[in-house]
């Protein structure tokens, strides 16, 4: 598997996921193979029930395939115990959710710090990195606010800062604009575009065509299978100098 | 290093969660508060009783055997002892003669008399006829004036040494030395005041409410019919180790004095502080048992309350658990988070309980008996409350830790 990891950030081989639904078994994924290289910007689309949530959960290491292999940066994830999966999620994956999923009782700074807490990063370094990440998304003046004191767009920027603070291999954005108005949604998308330009690998799940157009590659799922997989634009050259993102450590190898 | 970081972080998370739910947390801890109050009060009461016991009976002495007609604590049928002959002064003197050189022997007789000084009087004060050897048998010493001397006994002097309660009752702030008081119908000159012994223990003898007079004077003043005194003979062992041997010797000599045949049982009793200690331990056992039951029940109720609220908390925060897992929390860290939270709730309850118990102890100290909370009791209280917290948190924390992250993230 080492050879695949040389170029690919992640590689799925013939991944099957079945669920027991009462007496019947549902094949949510029916043999999906997918390779995503470093610094790709991939959109995953599909109608509901197409298996895109399942695929995202497996890529995000929240779930493991029933059969098939999943290799993330040279590590075989499929058969890992819970504790190792948690570590992978912590170190390599940055989640951005549709509903933001910030901790309501903690302030913004603490929300962004939290992944580093679980990563065992010492307090002072943690604080510095969280502050840098918040500066990157333009919220350094809101650090002591609680999530409910912020607008939807600001909350999603906090979530992005939280995803970036661990310098993950992949940012997984699941309908990141689903709860935002179109203007704010565009702001968030341009922020993701900037991240990609700074070298970040991004996987985007959406059902809106104009959101998917931000990506450079579009994977369509239907009935647990890949229906189409097309590259729309050549990947942007790596490491375009974006000073703010460099400061956040984004794209650092 | 990783684990210690987990601990510190979990503690901070727990404190943050508690702050957000202050009212609920405090209500939940009510059971714990009551339980900890019960723990502290039980232990403080037991401690207080023990101290009180020790103080009250320090005058008795652990190395002294008392030969009397009756046992101090009648466990069996009283009628078995009723027909025993009195131990009279003649027998006491004979026993003293036989034990000469082996142990210190002091006979005492006592009765209750009313005492009076000018317009002040006290009823039913214990008047003890004794000798100068009294203050070598017991550790109690005069705090003012002097104790009896051989001279007082030989010449049947009308002198007395009074206990601290008698001094307070009759003289208040007046110096009683060389004043004359009435005991029964006779006048006695006060030559000394005993130091305070700590009062009565649970209806037992009060050594502060005593008056010592020479035994010879006693017989003259209160003796009644000759040969019918009920004498107690105190025999002090030369050392603590020789107590057991001395007890056999005393029994043997006493049987000789009484001319008992081998087939006859002893018609006198041997009393020691140990006898009282045994009785005291029974009392303590009851106190501890009652305390333990109350404590156990309230802590159990408290634990169930905390467990319940922790289940609610885990369910309410299902989504939070999902988020934490998505960004890298392991099952262990979620488990620790909730264990810390339940422990912190119980610790807060325990601390409130300790404060309440301290206030109650102060009230008890001022009214019922000397009592104070000690450091070991506080440590036990804190440990117990944290332990209850951990135990009541295990099931909810385990449920939270095992939640599926995908389901949890979808939870509304």
What is the value of ipTM here, to two decimals? 0.88
Give me the residue from A57, A90, A106 closest to B327, CB to CB: A90
B381 exposure class (CB count in 10 Å sphere: 0-12, 13-18, 19+)? buried
Cβ within 8 Å of A, B 188-227: none
Task: Answer yes or no: pTM beyond 0.80.
Answer: no
Domain boundaries defined on chain A: 2-248
More confident residue, B178 or B222: B178
- Helix, strand or coil, per DSSP, at residue A85: helix
- Pairing outcome for strands B180-183 and B104-117: antiparallel
* Among the ranges given (B179-183, B199-203, B214-218), the one the predictor scored with the smallest mean pLDDT: B199-203
Cβ within 8 Å of B, A 141-200: 162, 166
- Helix, strand or coil, per DSSP, at residue A120: coil
Q: What is the largest CA-CA distance in chain A?
A: 56
Q: Read off the DSSP letter of residue A59.
A: H
The string of pLDDT tens digits covering residues B20-73 is 777 777 778 888 898 999 889 888 888 888 877 777 776 677 788 899 888 887
> What backbone phi and psi angles, to 5 degrees, belong to B329?
-70, 135
Distance CA B217, CA B155 (A): 8
Give me the residue from B323, B328, B405 closest to A90, CB to CB: B328
Q: What per-residue confidence (pLDDT) applies to B324? A: 93
Tell me the C-alpha to C-alpha distance, in Å, between residue B176 and each of B172, B185, B257. 9, 19, 42
Are B250 and B270 contacting, i.e. CB atoms less than 8 angstroms apart? yes
* Percentage of chain A lying above the pLDDT 90 cut: 61
- Helix, strand or coil, per DSSP, at residue A83: helix
Distance CA B21, CA B344 (A): 12
Domain boundaries defined on chain B: 2-55+278-410, 85-267
Q: What per-residue confidence (pLDDT) applies to A241? A: 46
* Percentage of chain A lying above the pLDDT 70 cut: 89
Give the closest residue to A41 by CA, choosing from A205, A247, A221, A227.
A205
pLDDT level of residue B212 (50, 70, 90 thresholds): very high
Q: Does B320 touch chain A (CB under 8 A)?
A: yes
Tell me if B1 and A120 make a contact (CB, 8 A cut-off). yes
Give, for A189, the enclosing helix (H) or strand (E): helix A182-197
Give me the residue from A97, A105, A115 closest to B328, CB to CB: A115
Tell me if A101 and B409 make a contact (CB, 8 A cut-off). yes
Highest mean pLDDT range out of B35-49, B92-106, B311-325?
B311-325
3-state SS track over chain B: CHHHHHHHHHHHHHHHHHHHCHHHHHHHCHHHHHHHHHHHHHHHHHHHHHHHHHHHHCCCCCCEEEEECCCCCCCCCCHHHHCCCCCCHHHHHHHHHHCCCCCEEEEEEEEEEEEEECCEEEEEEEEEEECCCHHHHCCCCEEEECCCCHHHHHCCCCEEEECHHHHHHHHCCCCCCCCEEEECCEEEEEEEEECCCCCCCCCCCCCCCEEEEEHHHHHHHHCCCCCCCCCEEEEECCCHHHHHHHHHHHHHHHHHHHCCCCCCCCCCEEECHHHHHHHHHHHHHHHHHHHHHHHHHHHHHHHHHHHHHHHHHHHHCHHHHHHHHHCCCCHHHHHHHHHHHHHHHHHHHHHHHHHHHHHHHHHHHHHCCCCCCCHHHHHHHHHHHHHHHHHHHHHHHHHHHHCCHHHHHHCC
Average pLDDT of span B294-304 = 89
Give, for A225, the enclosing helix (H) or strand (E): strand A225-231
Q: Does B324 touch chain A (CB under 8 A)?
A: yes
CATH dotted code for A2-248:
3.40.50.300
Q: What per-residue confidence (pLDDT) applies to A234? A: 59
């Amino acid at each position: 598997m080492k050879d695949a990891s040389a170029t690919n950030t992640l590689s799925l081989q013939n991944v099957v996921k079945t669920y027991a639904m009462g007496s019947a078994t549902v094949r949510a994924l029916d043999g999906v193979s997918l390779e995503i290289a470093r610094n790709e910007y991939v959109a995953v689309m599909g109608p509901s029930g197409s298996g895109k949530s399942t695929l995202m959960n497996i890529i995000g290491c929240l779930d493991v395939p029933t059969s098939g292999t999943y290799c993330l940066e040279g590590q075989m994830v499929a058969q890992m115990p819970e504790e190792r999966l948690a570590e992978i999620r912590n170190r390599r994956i940055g989640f951005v959710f549709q509903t933001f999923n910030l901790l309501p009782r903690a302030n913004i700074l603490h929300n962004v710090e939290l992944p580093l807490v679980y990563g065992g990063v010492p307090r002072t370094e943690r604080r510095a990195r969280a502050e840098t990440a918040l500066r990157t998304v333009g919220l350094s003046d809101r650090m002591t606010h609680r999530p409910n004191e912020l607008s939807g767009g600001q909350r999603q920027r906090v979530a992005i800062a939280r995803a970036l603070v661990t310098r993950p291999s992949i940012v997984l954005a699941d309908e990141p604009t689903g709860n935002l108005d179109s203007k704010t949604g565009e702001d968030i998308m341009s922020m993701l575009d900037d991240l990609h330009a700074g070298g970040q690998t991004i996987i985007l799940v959406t059902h809106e065509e104009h959101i998917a157009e931000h990506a450079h590659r579009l994977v369509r799922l239907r009935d647990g299978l890949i229906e189409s997989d097309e590259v729309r634009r050549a990947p942007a050259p790596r490491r375009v100098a974006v000073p703010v993102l460099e400061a956040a450590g984004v794209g650092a190898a | 290093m990783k684990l210690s970081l987990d601990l510190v972080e979990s503690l901070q998370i727990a404190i943050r969660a508690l702050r957000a739910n202050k009212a609920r947390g405090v209500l939940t801890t009510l059971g714990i508060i009551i339980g900890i109050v019960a723990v502290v009060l039980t232990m403080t009461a037991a401690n207080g009783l023990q101290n009180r016991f020790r103080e009250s009976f320090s005058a008795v002495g652990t190395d002294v055997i008392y030969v009397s007609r009756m046992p101090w604590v009648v466990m069996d049928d009283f009628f078995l002892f009723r027909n025993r002959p009195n131990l009279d002064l003649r027998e006491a003197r004979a026993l003293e003669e036989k034990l000469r050189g082996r142990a210190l022997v002091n006979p005492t007789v006592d009765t209750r008399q009313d005492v009076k000084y000018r317009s002040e009087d006290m009823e039913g004060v214990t008047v003890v006829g004794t000798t100068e050897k009294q203050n070598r048998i017991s550790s109690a010493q005069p705090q003012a004036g002097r104790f009896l001397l051989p001279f007082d006994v030989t010449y049947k002097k009308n002198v007395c040494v009074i206990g601290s309660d008698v001094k307070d009752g009759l003289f208040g702030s007046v110096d009683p030395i060389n004043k004359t008081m009435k005991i029964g119908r006779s006048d006695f000159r006060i030559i000394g005041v005993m130091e305070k012994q700590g009062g009565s223990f649970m209806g037992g003898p009060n050594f502060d409410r005593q008056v010592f007079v020479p035994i010879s004077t006693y017989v003259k003043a209160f003796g009644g019919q000759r040969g019918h005194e009920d004498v107690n003979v105190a025999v002090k062992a030369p050392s603590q180790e020789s107590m057991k041997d001395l007890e056999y010797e005393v029994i043997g000599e006493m049987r000789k004095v009484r001319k008992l045949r081998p087939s006859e049982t002893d018609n006198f009793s041997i009393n020691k502080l140990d006898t009282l200690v045994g009785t005291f331990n029974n009392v303590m056992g009851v106190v501890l048992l009652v305390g333990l039951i109350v404590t156990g029940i309230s802590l159990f109720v408290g634990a169930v309350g905390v467990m319940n609220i922790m289940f609610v908390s885990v369910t309410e925060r299902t989504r939070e658990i999902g988020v934490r897992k998505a960004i890298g929390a392991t099952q262990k860290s979620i488990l620790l988070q909730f264990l810390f939270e339940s422990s912190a709730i119980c610790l807060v309850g325990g601390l409130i309980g300790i404060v309440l118990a301290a206030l109650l102890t102060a009230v008890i100290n001022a009214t019922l008996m000397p009592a104070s909370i000690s450091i070991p009791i506080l440590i036990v209280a804190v440990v117990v409350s944290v332990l209850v917290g951990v135990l009541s948190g295990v099931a909810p924390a385990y449920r939270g830790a095992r939640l599926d992250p995908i389901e949890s993230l979808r939870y509304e």
